Amino acid sequence: MRKTAEFVSPKHPDKLCDRISDNILDYCLTQDPNSRVAIEVQGGHGFININGEITTNIKSELPINDLVEEVVGNGYRIQVKITQQSSEIAQGVDTGGAGDQGIMIGYACNDNDEMVPEEYRLARDLCRYIYDSHEYDGKTQVTIDSENNITHIVASFQNTPYEELDHRTYEWLENQGVNPHSITRYLNPAGDWEQGGFDADAGLTGRKLVVDNYGPRVPIGGGAYSGKDPSKVDRSAAYMARYIAVQELKFCNKVDSDDTEIYCQLSYAIGRKEPIQAVCWNQDGESWNVEDHYEVYPNDIIEFLDLKKPIYYETAHWGAYGNGFKWDEE
């Protein structure tokens, strides 16, 4: 069966919104590691709207305009509506409970050293390769067959003429040890384009959730990541689920198990620290509980993975998995 995944560049309008959200989050955590942050950004066509909740001990006014300009430059009308976190939510989080209900899925596989689906790794790698020389809005897509051989690629990049895109994808395929002439390539299939980013489309925080996870091969249970401090299990427990999946697969590999894929599901009720479920399963559906073997209470996850540090802006560029973050490598 063929498998396909896509990736988008950091200049894609949805990613611009993710990056603004996480830039604001990182600023707050730098000034006050206990900040509670939930920031949504919607931008496009000259306007940027920033909405959400921030509770922090930072004494000075937040430099929102500066934080936005660090990502997208100036020239936008910025509208800000930020209030404090709801006291009713806070009373559950203050006692160590989850900041919301949620179902988070972690995953690891033996497709490659990054332990992510091969089609996803290739789509990201291709996107990064093109972006290294053409830092614009863009998207890539890679299809592989049942033997993980590349069969098709799609690449659309702003301000990148077909000839340049042809050259970059040709080089990338050769670097993968693949004959470029054996691959079907769709390069700027709608034609070359110059208008991109917020000039062409509106963007929204969290809208590239599949790209932020593992691609369409792996189920998604929780919410978006960007703009959320680690008290939100949408983010922290998703990272912990990835950590657990990686550790379980490493153990399986060490004992020469037949397991090649490990899934981990963590689920919570708002305000409660005990997970409703903490379970792993393999590619054959065989499952086992992991609650007694790992830190799965929200505050314990935060401490174990050191999640009060300003690390989130980087995750909004090329994803949180397979990029050397702590939940990948312990």
Residue 99 has pLDDT above 90, yes or no: no
Given strand 277-282, what is the order of strands in its sheet?
102-109, 261-268, 277-282, 287-289
The verdict on 324 and 243 lying in the same domain is yes
Confidence band, pLDDT 50/70/90 cuts, at residue 90: confident
Claim to verify: residue 324 and residue 244 sit in the same structural domain: yes
The yes-or-no verdict on residue 147 having pLDDT over 90 is: yes
Domain presence at residue 37: no
Structure tokens at 18: 């993710």
Closest CA to 48 of 251, 200, 204: 204
Q: How many residues does the chain have?
A: 330
**Residue 146 forms part of a structural domain:** yes
Q: What is the pLDDT of residues 74-89, one digit of tens each?
A: 999 999 999 999 888 8
Tell me: do 251 and 109 sit in the same domain.
yes
Q: Mean pLDDT score of the chain, rounded to an integer?
A: 96
Q: Residue 195 carries which side chain, given as an amino acid letter? A: Q
Same domain for 136 and 106: no
Rounded to an integer, the average pLDDT of 86-93 is 88
Rounded Cα distance between 196 and 11, Å, is 8
Please name every residue paired with 53 in a beta bridge, in sequence order, or none if there are none.
Answer: 38, 83
Of 197, 212, 239, the domain-final residue: 197
Note the pLDDT tens digit of each residue in 31-59.
999 999 999 999 999 999 999 999 999 98
**Do 140 and 277 reside in the same domain of the chain?**
no
Mean pLDDT confidence for 115-140: 98
Arithmetic mean of pLDDT, 93-122: 95
* Amino acid identity, position 211: V
Residue bearing tokens 């919301």:
100
Whether residue 244 sits in one domain with residue 184: no
What CA–CA distance (Å, rounded) separates 77 from 312?
25
**Res 218: pLDDT:** 97
In this prediction, residue 330 carries a pLDDT of 62
| 182 occurs within a structural domain | yes
- Residue 109 and residue 251 in one domain: yes
The number of distinct structural domains making up the chain is 2
CB 106 within 8 Å of CB 264: yes
Same domain, 109 and 150: no
Instruction: Yes or no: say if 19 and 71 are a contact pair by the CB < 8 Å rule.
Output: yes
Per-residue pLDDT tens over the stretch 243-292: 999 999 999 999 999 999 999 999 999 999 999 999 999 999 999 999 99
Q: Is residue 285 part of a domain?
A: yes
Give me the pLDDT at residue 250, please. 96
Domain that holds residue 290: 102-113+231-329
Confidence of residue 236 (pLDDT cuts 50, 70, 90): very high
Residues 108 and 149 in one domain: no
**pLDDT score for 92:** 85
Please check the confidence at residue 222 and state whether its pLDDT lies above 90.
Answer: no
**Please, which residues have CB within 8 angstroms of residue 11's CB and are 6 or more apart in sequence?**
131, 135, 136, 137, 138, 158, 196, 197
Is 275 within a domain? yes
Among 178, 197, 216, give the residue marking a domain's end. Answer: 197
Q: What's the pLDDT at 305?
A: 97
Summarised one tens digit per residue, pLDDT across range 181-217 is 999 999 999 999 999 999 999 999 999 999 999 999 9
pLDDT confidence of residue 176: 96
What is the DSSP annotation of 71-120?
Answer: HH-S--EEEEEEEPPPHHHHHHHTTT-BSS-EEEEEEEESSSTT-S-HHH
The phi and psi torsions of 132 (rounded to 5 degrees) equal: -55, -30
**What value does the mean pLDDT take over residues 294-314?**
97
Q: Could you tell me if 239 and 313 lie in one domain?
A: yes
Same domain, 132 and 153: yes
Going by C-alpha positions, the residue among 4, 1, 25 that lies closest to residue 315 is 25
Q: How far apart are CA 130 and CA 133, in angstroms?
A: 6
Q: Is residue 20 part of a domain?
A: no
244 falls within a domain = yes
At 141, which CATH number? 3.30.300.10
Last residue of a domain, one of 177, 197, 217: 197
Dump pLDDT digits (tens) for 61-70.
Answer: 999 999 999 9
Residue 169 placed within a domain:
yes
Shared domain check, 243 and 314: yes
